[in-house]
A and B are shown apart, each in its own frame.
Chain A
Amino acid sequence: MRGLGAEVAKNLILAGVRGLTLLDHQQVRGGTPGGTVGTQGPPEPVCLNPMVEVKARRGRGGQTDPVPQCPQVCLTCCSKESMVRINQICHKNGIKFFTGDVFGYHGYMFADLGQHEFVEEKPKVAKVSAGVEDGPEAKRARLEPAETTMVKKQLQFCPLREALAVRWRGEEAAPALRRTAPDYFLLHVLLQFRTEAGRDPCPRGDSDSDNDSDNVPVSVLLHSCFSEMAPVCAVVGGVLGQEVVKALSQRDPPHNNFFFFDGVRGQGMVERLGPPPK
């Protein structure tokens, strides 16, 4: 039972996303829960099966379709290798890609929206000249409901593989290293563990203790990285769900490209990691 996927699914259903295909390892659940009326029951296990999902996306619907069949893919709790592979396919085919995971008190999401276009509401600039600020006229002018206009913008995202391949050695990387959320490095460790051990770390199993002490900075992780914590799923699932809705509606700047949540500190960071934008 994986909570993050269920959270995302619930949020998308509440947001009125019309077509949502939930894929579990073997069995397909869900279908097209439509409309804005939430009929979602208890959280359900969701894990998008990479193979099925990707194949289904290849013959993508035309641009004229207002609700394209499968414009987005969202993975939870997959191995690094599957994520990278699916992301590559999505990237090539212009499919918006999301992935996310929760490890105990820590969680993250990653988005690759390719070349993403969106609109943002901006005020028409009407600054009050300095010097007359104290008069009642000035006050009124400032408080007048600002005229806003919708500005079209673009953002270039990079694939997960590049985002994970950032080099941290060398002098020039040092300042960036200090400023980057520690959760980014934690993610590397946990994904590596998943690849090597074929599972996530767990607090009991004796066999883990060796592995953990080898690979995981114990002081940071002790009892804070095991299995999915429901409230952390709620936070990451909320942010991830909102990002999917944002990407669909093409309104407002998306988080480019990582969101890291540290439930111990209650802190959520948005990091852009990867090669410098062209």
Chain B
Amino acid sequence: MAAALSGPLRPELAQAVSQARVLVVGAGGIGCELLKNLVLTGFSNIYVIDLDTIDVSNLNRQFLFQKKHVGRSKSQVAKESVLQFCPEANIIAYHDSIMNPDYNVEFFRQFTLVMNALDNRAARNHVNRMCLAADIPLIESGTAGYLGQVTVIKKGVTECYECQPKPTQKTFPGCTIRNTPSEPIHCIVWAKYLFNQLFGEEDADQEVSPDRADPEAAWEPAEAEARALASNEDGEIKRVSTKEWAKSTGYDPVKLFTKLFKDDIRYLLTMDKLWRKRKPPVPLDWAEVQKQEQNIPDQQNESSAVLKDQQVLNVRSYADLFSKSVKTLSLHLAEKADGEALIWDKDDPSAMDFVTAAANLRMHVFGMNMKSRFDIKSMAGNIIPAIATTNAVIAGLIVLEGLKILSGKIDQCRTIFLNKQPNPRKKLLVPCALDPPNPNCYVCASKPEVTVKLNTHKVTVLTLQDKILKEKFAMVAPDVQIEDGKGTILISSEEGETEANNHRKLSDFGIRNGSRLQADDFLQDYTLLINLLHSEDLEKDVEFEVVGDTPERIGPKPSEPASRNISNGSDDGAQPSTSTAPEQEDVVIVDSEDEGTSSNAADAESRSRKRKLEKGCGCGGAKRSRAEQEQDDLMIVESEDEGAASSLGEEESRSHKRKLEEKGCECVGAKSVC
């Protein structure tokens, strides 16, 4: 092994590697692969942090974990496993959230390099800010199905993670699905899993019952670990019994309904820490629901199946649909040979009925607006599983970018995209030059500023804090003052100081059109100036919109104003009807060719061709193929530049400023830091 360590690297680089101190954030699918690659490359000072404990579902992707480790800290077990084949490595493991204030700017400054192996936006945003504040290079990565991406972020040199707007999050930690859904897609994923648990191939990855090991439910990670161990002991039995139990009731729809929408929800309510800052779910009672009137189908539209699919029914109707589809599916299952299972198919009417009903009932329980069968079908068709080999490739690329940084050659770093199929230029792995920082970025600009449109008579201080500052702008503990000359404190991060303001409207504090707020996050060393625009004509369910003002942004049709809005609220990225919010699409700019640093004229030309695709996320077969069709138009005009076109899910060519309508695929990643 020792020979392998020093062999391939130049001596100077080998020395830099052995002396580097690196932080790996996340010990999940990418993290495990990354840790292995790091020690095999000769890194010997490695810090790894992960909040999660090991779940049975991790074992088929995260090779450092074995069955006997279930319930233990991921970072700790990853460390132990790596030490077994590389005992001389110095690994420090933290079983904690990277967003814990203990990991402040000083903590980050000790590292040569930070590598993200995360699966959620909130933590990525946070680490981005910490690395900017500490001025430490960050390697960011993500995977979705067969697609993956690696990029490098360096303050003042490259775009930061937040320089370009991102679509709503496309990967969901397991505990979001099982415990704390906040968007319709979370309920749709849950319903699809439920289908498999009841009628299909049971998959440990697709657990639907409450997750007692949710690290968020316990403030102390140790407590979460204890819970995880306990839950695993009976978890095994439970898992076997979901289907068995359903069978034993003869797939009694009322019993199933009661377990899923009443008993399990009641159980979730006992995890009271989850509901301190969230709206708690409301259990449904079958008998109560039956008292409701059934929806009467809209006679006028009855002839059109499409329009019928676009109606949103009431809870009673979905309860009945649930019952009816459970009966049908259990009959289908009974017709199968012993041990055979049903396969979920969005084009199978009863399977789709089941998912529509179960997802909507759960949305209702969690206080979301329900969705039409049509919307649910389009969202459910695009859920992408995590694939181990994608993580392996991406983790290798992360280390290669790290080596360039350690050689002092950050100019040679690239964003690298992994495609499912080679693009027409024959590239499966596509390196693209890094873009310079967006001067209007609301995170890495020298004086970050942003404009938010909202109704000051409706939005409360709590909404401002939770949905706008924390969720949208990814602050952890914001302090807010009004720039009214008096410096009125609206929100204080000190517990108890401004709680009284929480439920008051912004207008109660004299905030109106044109008011300015200064939001500070001490931990992130980040100050954001917020210009407020009062508006009374936001879409239904949209509480606020961020007005984008980046003229360089790629994408809008020429006819559109330069500014773009990022909608929030009920947006889920796959909802076809929100025509005012088509902006979710793109996120990352991809240069089709990388040779940016070369002096070659042809390269310079290729550099000007930019395109983009969704960050770490692509689309499943159907969507991808549609994108291919649309792309045909592009190819005619710019025949040389077919480039990544047909193989990347969402993208467009800058020269055409043509917008693809498809966007917002949903991916389910490995469960990790929640």
Contacts and interface: CB of A to CB of B under 8 A. Distances in A.
Contact of B390 (A136, A238, A263): A238
Contact of A139 (B62, B81, B416, B576): B576
Nearest to B429: A268
Interface SS, A side: mixed
Contacts of B579: 136, 139
Nearest to A35: B60
Contacts of B81: 41-42
A220 to B, nearest CB: 15
Interface string B370-395: 00001001100110000111111101
B372 to A, nearest CB: 11
A38 B59 contact: yes
A229 B43 CA distance: 13
Given A121-B621, A227-B7, A270-B426, A127 B397 contact: no
A14 B427 contact: no
Interface in A111-170: 121-123, 125, 127, 136, 139-140, 142-148
A212 interface: no
Interface footprint category on A = 35 or more
Contacts of B347: 147
Nearest to A203: B7
Nearest to B380: A145
Interface string B608-629: 0000000000000111011001
Contacts of A127: 629
B85 A145 contact: no
Given A14-B61, A123-B625, A266-B594, A226 B8 contact: yes
B212 interface: no
B296 interface: no
Interface string B1-43: 1011001111000000000000000000000010011001100
Given A231-B400, A266-B429, A148 B422 contact: no
A30 B397 CA distance: 28
A15 B389 contact: yes
A267 B427 contact: yes
Given A1-B4, A15-B388, A231-B41, A40 B381 contact: no
A209 interface: no
B66 A39 contact: yes
A259 B427 CA distance: 9
A235 B397 contact: yes
Interface of B: 1, 3-4, 7-10, 33, 36-37, 40-41, 59-63, 65-67, 81, 84-86, 146, 306, 310, 346-347, 374, 377-378, 381-382, 387-393, 395-401, 403, 414, 416, 418, 420-422, 426-431, 576-577, 579, 594, 621-623, 625-626, 629, 661-662
18 contacts: A10-B63, A13-B63, A15-B389, A38-B63, A42-B85, A143-B661, A145-B346, A146-B622, A223-B9, A223-B10, A228-B8, A231-B398, A234-B399, A238-B393, A239-B389, A265-B594, A266-B416, A269-B426
